[in-house]
Structure 1
């Protein structure tokens, strides 16, 4: 693990300031306040990784068209050839670390994978580099996937396979294999357990992630958090006031999130966990 706060000031020599990059994705798919940053992120990634770079993909809320400026993180997946030299990961973490590259969003969550790993379905974390950085995220650059909870990465790769936006290189569906359904449902169950515990998560995000999990179990498709919330609120009258309050909170900056009743959040997530368990049981015939 590389401690970015102390060691990711970034090797300036690794960044070619003469290169101009235009995002591959239709610019209208990317919020205007993010376009220069993402173009620079792609440029620096290309400079560091060189011919070993295969794809740079926008995933998460950007891919699901639900990015909230001041609230959402930027989720980016980078695919590289397995022949990428090991020191390049440290160089990339340095080149992209905030404030060396000032992040305009709440934070950047960037994950680098080898194409040999991405080409096969997997229920493991499997990354080469997991970089968190930005004004509202603690700086972290980790290269030891074995010690990270796998479920975050399995869900993110599933979303990326379905909806990832190609900023550079090959499209997401050509690079990222969809996780197998049992692995994905296990990851969703682990995610719900994590949000049920609540530590380190805003209450509104816990509720909205629960809504998204329920909609995925019903449809097999990932939906933006607010769209999933609307669907669940319409179908589940008992939870409607809580879900509507969570959406109102989500539309505010993180620093002014609305407190939600803890007992109601726990009851909702218990209900979500039951829905996920039922889907998993049907999938396995148990």
Structure 2
């Protein structure tokens, strides 16, 4: 049975029909092997920006799902076969036994990126994939994933171990410090979200995290306010934030994460 988008609780009207069709197609391909379909990322955190944000979806399947079904699913959900109304779709499929425990590593069965503003990708082998994105996404899913179909997020996906999560956050900050392939505003806001998580143990929406950091890190307030203004517009009009200020903020954020890791004995 398709859930009435646990959705109406927080999924914007612009993407509800798309998600309902995504669930229908996923259920048609996976049949009784489908365990859960969860909206994660900005949708789950209540910070989706139409025209800027991706749609992030986690699918959990029975490990007995026939392997050819993964290719069929990738084809069924690919844009423009299923036109994505957002900047793009980032969908990850996991086996239920892998995510039932606090797994480390990428571990996916399918990693699909598709949409107008996303380079297309359909990967079926997680070997060699950087694990940190997937560990963080599973943490967000466990905390607040929105159930679109099947078992609730907390029943389907275990929280990662704190040391594994801190390692993933460190790696994420290194990636954003390098900057390649990331908008400057997103690099800054991800840094804010990482620091707030280390302080509170909970994932926050990017703009809320920026407001929290700006309240007690005066020296970075102009940069954080500019990053939020930029994030509130479409990707094509993202502001060119000053590179030295971005680097300085991300170095500061990395220090805060290291402090949290030392305090946790990681």
TM-score band by shorter chain is over 0.9
1:175 to 2:156 alignment: yes
Which digits, 9 at most, give the CA deviation of each residue in 1:81-111, with x for residues without a partner?
A: 0000000000000000000000000000000
Q: CA RMSD in A?
A: 1.1
1:145 to 2:126 alignment: yes
Unaligned runs of 5+ in 1: 1-19
Match of 2:234 in 1: 253
Match of 2:60 in 1: 79
Structure 1 position 21, deviation (Å):
5.3
> Aligned to 1:66, which of 44, 47, 66?
47
**Separation of aligned partners in 2, 1:263 and 1:48:** 48
**Separation of aligned partners in 1, 2:52 and 2:250:** 22
TM-score of the superposed pair, with normalisation by structure 1: 0.91
Structure 1 position 24, deviation (Å):
4.0
Match of 1:125 in 2: 106
Match of 2:88 in 1: 107
Check conservation: 1:21, 1:40, Cα contact below 8 A: no
Structure 1 position 26, deviation (Å):
4.1
1:39 to 2:24 alignment: no
Which contiguous aligned blocks of 4+ residues in structure 1 show a shift greater than 4 angstroms? none
Unaligned runs of 5+ in 2: none
When the two structures are aligned, how many residues end up with a matched partner? 266
- 1:26/1:197 CA distance change after superposition, 3 Å: closer
3-state SS in 2 of match to 1:264: helix
> Aligned to 2:117, which of 136, 140, 146?
136
Matches within 5 A, 1:1-286: 23-284=4-265
Structure 1 position 25, deviation (Å):
1.2
Check conservation: 1:61, 1:72, Cα contact below 8 A: yes
**Separation of aligned partners in 1, 2:133 and 2:71:** 22
Structure 1 position 23, deviation (Å):
3.2
Check conservation: 1:80, 1:112, Cα contact below 8 A: yes
Which digits, 9 at most, give the CA deviation of each residue in 1:6-47, with x for residues without a partner?
A: xxxxxxxxxxxxxx9563414242100101100000000000
**Separation of aligned partners in 2, 1:183 and 1:206:** 21
Which digits, 9 at most, give the CA deviation of each residue in 1:118-171, with x for residues without a partner?
A: 011122000000000001001100011112110000000000000000000000
3-state SS in 1 of match to 2:225: helix
**Separation of aligned partners in 1, 2:225 and 2:32:** 47
**Separation of aligned partners in 1, 2:150 and 2:25:** 14
Check conservation: 2:52, 2:234, Cα contact below 8 A: yes
3-state SS in 2 of match to 1:72: coil
Which digits, 9 at most, give the CA deviation of each residue in 1:180-225, with x for residues without a partner?
A: 0000000000000000000000000000000000000000000000
